[in-house]
Structure 1
Amino acid sequence: MANVALIGSTGMVGSHILTSLLSNSGVNRVDTISRRAPHAATAGPQTKLTTFVSDDTSKWGSQLAALTPAPEIFMSAFATTRGNAGGFENQHKIEHGLNVELARAARDAGSKVYVLISAQGASKDSRIPYSRMKGEIEEDVKALGFERTVILRPGLISGTREESRPLEAGIRFIASWAGKVHSSLKDGWAQDADVIGKAAVNAGLKALKGDVPEGSEKVWVVEGKSIIELANES
């Protein structure tokens, strides 16, 4: 059974990753590090969940390094928005900086598998700042040399966010409608947050066992419909 550490547990996808981890019989212990307590921790007692809550993100790395036992799998669904960060420069500094810093701390602590929630179109060479930032995070994490790195690149993430994003909500409504007509109209460009969460957990556990596709022994990238297929695996 695996010990897992997770950052981003209070976000749209991260909260579903946490739920999937807690319900998975292959997971022994889950440690979360976040600015506020994840919903799962406040909803009721959780025997295998330990949380560390602090607004001071400079403490997160040392907390991760001090976990005992060390997590075999480290997962990140951590992200912020340009608006919340106060501009793209700060968004890049926070999202890129913290993701890479904590990935390094996890590697140094002995984590074997790293699972990152990235985004469709991520590329360090992209002309789109957001996609370029996501690509830079991917490249810098891969360079850390985990035994296996898993990168999920969902398209539009459908589901309900706590924060209001009217334009995105409209697109999510279209995705939901398309999915009800036929899954083929949606699956390639939009995936539900709970599905992404299940896929991330399944991928992490499979990677820990070495059960990865041929040619993906070091870095396994999962996109589009493959995310949905992975979520449906037992």
Structure 2
Amino acid sequence: MATAVLAGSTGLVGSNILSQLLAHPSFTKVYAYTRRELPDNPQDAPKLHPLLSTDSATWPAQFPHAAKPSVLFSGLGTTRAQTGGFDAQRKIDFVLNLSLARAAKDAGVQTYVLVSSSGASASSYFGYNRMKGELEDSVKALGFTHTVILRPGLIVGERGETRAAEAVLRGVAKGLGRVSAGLTEWWAQDAGVIARAAVEAGVRCGQGEREKGVWVMGMAEIVELGRERK
């Protein structure tokens, strides 16, 4: 039985990871960073421990060292539109993510699971992909026993905010998905699928089913690992 920490618990993928963690028998406690109150669900109360602060700069200092968590999941991310520019976005997507990863490493966390992005590369011409690649390289360098990096494509799901360009692509993905999942899974993945893959990867690492080191998961492997089993 394990204790998990989650960053990005109210985002599209992060909220799905939170649901997966709360329902998974391998986890007895889930510490979830959040800027706002999480939905009230009495059934989850014994397991869920919100780390609530509107000032995300305080989050690394709030890391629950005393709980001795074994895994940190991060679905933390934002957009230029939400923050007002790329520099502000970088403070969340790169600086805060890396600060939380360092806090986890200092607390003895063995497994770090990061939801990154396809195309992530520190040498990319595109600022977003370069930032994601720099984050990947930085967390690899921390030397967790297990570092899991998921690289999904377009993330399909209902977002709280409107992103016009993505909304069009999501509409296309949903339409094609109704015909056949195979028409979309190679370029767009459902947030629930990504979340299940992230949690399953964390469990496998924690149970010693994966070799130590870095596990980079592309879109096909995300779909395979995150597909609901009947």
TM-score, normalised on structure 1? 0.93
* 1:154 alignment partner AA: P
Whole-angstrom CA distance in 2 between matches of 1:44 and 1:195: 25
1:229 and 2:220 are equivalent in the alignment: no
Q: How many residues align?
A: 228
1:99 and 2:60 are equivalent in the alignment: no
Superposed, which structure 2 residues align to 1:118-197 within 5 Å? 118-197=116-195
Structure 1 vs Structure 2 CA RMSD: 1.4
Whole-angstrom CA distance in 1 between matches of 2:92 and 2:67: 28
Report the Cα offset of residue 233 of structure 1: 7.0
* 2:212 alignment partner AA: E
Report the Cα offset of residue 35 of structure 1: 0.9
Unaligned stretches of 5+ in structure 2? none
Whole-angstrom CA distance in 2 between matches of 1:31 and 1:54: 13
Report the Cα offset of residue 112 of structure 1: 0.2
Unaligned stretches of 5+ in structure 1? none
Superposed, which structure 2 residues align to 1:1-234 within 5 Å? 1-39=1-39, 42-46=40-44, 47-64=46-63, 66-212=64-210, 217-232=212-227
Q: Higher mean Cα deviation, 47-56 or 176-185?
A: 176-185
Whole-angstrom CA distance in 2 between matches of 1:94 and 1:199: 23
- Percent of counterpart pairs with the same letter? 46
For the residue of structure 2 that corresponds to 1:32, the secondary structure is strand
TM-score, normalised on structure 2? 0.95
Whole-angstrom CA distance in 2 between matches of 1:89 and 1:12: 22
Report the Cα offset of residue 129 of structure 1: 0.6
Report the Cα offset of residue 67 of structure 1: 3.7
Whole-angstrom CA distance in 2 between matches of 1:178 and 1:231: 19
Runs of 4+ displaced beyond 6 Å: none
Contact kept? 1:15, 1:38, Cα under 8 Å: no
* 2:62 alignment partner AA: Q
